Structure 1
Amino acid sequence: MAMMARYLMYFQYCGTKYSGVMKTPPHQPIPGVQNYLEEAVQKLRPINEVTISISSRTDTGVHALCNSAHLDIQRKEGRPPFSEEILVDALNFHLQLEPISVLKAFRVADNFHARFWALSRTYVYRLVTGCLHRSQLPVFERNLCWPVTKRPLNTDAMKEAAQMLLGTHDFSTFRSLNSETPFKSPVKTLLQADVMPSFSISSQNFHSHLEFWELTFRSRSFLYKQVRRMTGALVAVGQGRLMPRQIADLLEIRDSRAYPQNIIAPPGGLFLKNVEYDEKDLEVEESVIQ
């Protein structure tokens, strides 16, 4: 009987042209990243219908430096499972026309689950000061950061406010409402909330007046649009529109309707940076591989 092999796959994408990472039905005009990944896998001619299980959902316009997923591939009888290297190379060959790339693959246990076994997820949001509109950005940055102000941000105040988000809280104020809202607990533990200077490879010469910043958030999981809402609130602090103590007040209110209007960060500056697993879960016994 042909052997089924499960893989953990890390992949990245520029999300500007996609409806998000998740698969969309055929009648929807803008596909998701998953549509292209599954098409690439099917071109490897597995005997099973492959469905990719993605660890971390990203919305329209959001990017990933490193997302992850698991998938099962069953080859014709007599053919061994793909090696990790061959699988990566073959998928990238079929993805070469898209801004999607498979970074790494690991053979994992048959019960491994990319979503439920993740220990943490890290998101980075990129900001830029010195301009107010994306048309004033270097062309390479126009869908990859948020131009927030011509003047410098009060980053000390932003750092103070970010510390109030750390730890375990009810983040109801910082989530948008969607179909999953009634079923998901709003209590999350934020492990990291940093505000750090960043850089751009295209900010030299004519764009030397621009300053780039990164907001980094790490947690086991996040609520719908939580990162974009936290980012928008911190930027409002940096602009002087909110005081740092008001971040704690928003947490205490625990009501998404209390979130200030028109400050949520747009999707283009958001990147899923990393999905972390226990290294032991990425080890498969030799007897299973053979």
Structure 2
Amino acid sequence: MTHPYFLTVAYAGAGFHGWQIQTELRSGQGDLWAALRALDPEAPMPQGTGRTDAGVHARAQGTLVRTSRAWEPYRLLAALNAHLRDDIRVMAAQPAPEAFFPRQHAVAKRYVYRLGQGPAADPLAAAFRWHVRGAAPLDLEAMAAAAAPLLGTHDFTSFRCAECVAKTPIRTLYGLRCEAHEGGVDLVFEGTSFLMHQVRIMAGTLVEVGRGRRRPDSLGALVAVRDRSLAGPTAPPHGLCLERVWYEAQWGIGEPSPWGERS
């Protein structure tokens, strides 16, 4: 008999070659499994909600672990963190229902892509923002207008990298907001799930709009043409963070999705 726990895991992506375990390279899943096996040598590999690319950060990587004995959740959190390096941490722990599986039962995710602006990159934020150089600030009104045709359910082939192995390019984007902050802009993406590099390609394309290099009314046609070569560049990974995940309400993990359950 094993005891399932749901963990919320955060990590700074610069030190990792993504979440998924690697044979020789460091990964979030690999680090967490090593910490878990220090407590429970026969523990199976932790299962995350989804992959993050090399260099991408996470504030809310939902993870299922199984242990051979029962733990008080805070003690499990503290014990795991004692065996983890400073750039990855278990932020919360709770018992999980026996049949819960984070990847299968996630219904929506929020990613935030952070942009920096100004004459020079802020050294205290540079590890977490893509600094967009330019004499003029990004045109946020144009970027917001350009984002509108991306909302809803579409074939997002134009924003899918060649290495993506998803069975279908159809995804639903619930929200896409441009939020100005001192020294930068946050692009907030909320949807059912995302294709490999989808958010980063969308971010790179919206930056082109904000720089005046692409028309704000052009993204609807870009979606329709289904051609990755016509979209913008893939934004660098260090600006991207997995911020939140919503799960099916029946499992009692976090708050219910504001967009309801998947059909």
Tell me which stretches of 4 or more aligned residues in structure 1 moved more than 6 Å.
none
Deviates more, 1:219-228 or 1:138-147: 138-147
Q: Deviations over 1:60-100 (max 9, x none)?
A: 1110111111121113xxxxx012111111111111x3301
**Which position in structure 2 is the counterpart of 1:194?**
177
* Cα distance between partner residues in 2 of 1:245 and 1:279: 37
1:56 pairs with one of 28, 31, 50: 50
**Which position in structure 1 is the counterpart of 2:122?**
138
Q: Aligned-residue CA RMSD in angstroms?
A: 1.5
**Which position in structure 2 is the counterpart of 1:180?**
165
Compute the TM-score of the two structures, normalised by the length of structure 2: 0.91
1:268 pairs with one of 234, 238, 260: 238
Matched, 1:36 2:19: no
Asked if structure 2 preserves the Cα contact closer than 8 Å seen for 1:174 and 1:259, the reply is yes
Deviates more, 1:106-115 or 1:220-229: 106-115
1:118 pairs with one of 102, 106, 112: 106
Deviation of 1:279 (Å): 4.3
**Which position in structure 2 is the counterpart of 1:67?**
61
Matched, 1:85 2:70: no
* Cα distance between partner residues in 1 of 2:215 and 2:229: 19
Q: Deviations over 1:195-249 (max 9, x none)?
A: 01124xxxxxxxxxxx211000011110010000111111100000001111111
Deviation of 1:120 (Å): 0.6
Q: Tell me the matched-pair count.
A: 252
SS of corresponding position for 2:146: helix
* Cα distance between partner residues in 1 of 2:196 and 2:116: 24
Larger radius of gyration: 1
* Cα distance between partner residues in 2 of 1:67 and 1:174: 23
Amino acid at match of 1:280: Q
SS of corresponding position for 2:229: helix
Following superposition of structure 1 onto structure 2, how do residues 1-290 of structure 1 map, counting pairs within 5 Å? 3-25=1-23, 28=24, 30-46=25-41, 48-75=42-69, 81-95=70-84, 97-131=85-119, 136-150=120-134, 151-178=136-163, 180-181=165-166, 184-199=167-182, 211-260=183-232, 263-282=233-252
Q: Which runs of 5+ in 2 are unaligned?
A: 254-263
Deviation of 1:179 (Å): 5.5
Asked if structure 1 preserves the Cα contact closer than 8 Å seen for 2:15 and 2:87, the reply is no
* Cα distance between partner residues in 1 of 2:66 and 2:6: 9
* Cα distance between partner residues in 1 of 2:227 and 2:249: 38
Asked if structure 2 preserves the Cα contact closer than 8 Å seen for 1:106 and 1:282, the reply is no
Amino acid at match of 1:24: Q
* Cα distance between partner residues in 2 of 1:94 and 1:49: 15
Q: Which runs of 5+ in 1 are unaligned?
A: 76-80, 200-210, 284-290
Asked if structure 2 preserves the Cα contact closer than 8 Å seen for 1:124 and 1:272, the reply is yes
SS of corresponding position for 1:139: coil
Compute the TM-score of the two structures, normalised by the length of structure 1: 0.83
* Cα distance between partner residues in 2 of 1:106 and 1:161: 41
SS of corresponding position for 1:141: coil
Asked if structure 1 preserves the Cα contact closer than 8 Å seen for 2:152 and 2:173, the reply is yes
* Cα distance between partner residues in 2 of 1:106 and 1:255: 43
Q: What is the identity percentage for the equivalent residue pairs of Structure 1 and Structure 2? A: 34
SS of corresponding position for 1:231: helix
